[in-house]
Amino acid sequence: MTDLAGRVALVTGGTRGIGLATVRALVEAGATVVLTGRDEARAKEAATAAGAAAGLALDVTDAKAVSTVVRGVAKEHGRLDVVVANAGIMDDALLGMIREDAVSATLDTNVAGTLHTVQAAARAMMRKKTGSIVVLASIVGEYGSAGQTLYAASKAAVANIALSAAKELGRSGIRVNAVAPGVIETDLTAGLSEEAVAENVKKTPLGRLGRPEDVAKAIRFLVSDEASFVTGQVLGIDGGLVL
Ligand code: NDP
């Protein structure tokens, strides 16, 4: 069992789906976990349900707010060991149908939001010269996906944030990795048609869609000392879908 006793962790977008499962996995390993979401009441409710220390309101598109929340968590708990930049949105459309407001919302949330979170985490971890950050990329960011050009491009950028930040922060003792999930059963993918689900299951060697817990367990591994020499990696969690 991974031991995160005494560690302090922050998970953005921890109110449901992969984020909430990650909060539960980190709590189970003994970490003190703070989760965030855009709505304060929802964040508090999720924190109580998952055994987290707190649920805070935070929109990751707001760089100043991200910095304030991350600094606040580090100050209140005296340290910040783990940050999971999980908050993300998906607004799929064929190329010719992509709306301009979807472009700005997706890039602001997925790319700028992840960048703000990694920046703030690095600042908070730098002083103690230790820490681990995980960002949420996607297999579509690596391989592309028809009807998902905008989302896939944003996730390619997210993976690259992990690579560049890993190079920059390694000497400060901070590891940065990305996970690249396949199709995971959450609100984000709830709109997939039955045919699309069946097609994905058929193409997946492990014969099922992913569960939030599948991703959470991989994130828990990456942030733990079990992965002490792992940085700058993009770990696929897709049941073999891309093979
Ligand atoms: P969900 O839609 O289930 O949850 C998204 C989470 O992000 C919610 O907690 C939501 O909180 C939060 N969020 C959204 N926008 C913002 C924002 N601007 N500021 C702060 N929080 C925000 O998604 P999943 O759990 O499926 O996905 C989690 C991550 O994993 C995302 O980055 C997604 O792109 C990625 N991913 C998911 C895959 C899948 O198949 N599900 C596959 C590959 C990657 P609230 O609404 O309470 O504010």
Pocket test of ligand 1: the residue of 56, 186, 204, 241 to mutate, having most ligand atoms within 8 Å of its CB, is 186
Give the model confidence (pLDDT) of 2-42 as tens digits.
Answer: 899 999 999 999 999 999 999 999 999 999 999 999 999 99
Other C-beta atoms lying within 10 Å of the C-beta of residue 42: 14
Give ipTM to 2 decimals: 0.99
pTM of the model: 0.98
Q: Ligand 1 centre and the CA of 15: distance in Å?
A: 9
Annotated catalytic residues are 151
165 HSE (CA, 13 A, CB side) = 30
Ranges of H-type helices in 16-148: 17-28, 40-50, 63-77, 100-106, 113-126, 139-143
Give the model confidence (pLDDT) of 113-143 as tens digits.
Answer: 999 999 999 999 998 999 999 999 999 999 9
Q: Which structure tokens are listed for 193?
A: 């048609």
Residues, the chain: 243
Q: What domains lie within the chain, and their CATH numbers?
A: 8-237 (3.40.50.720)
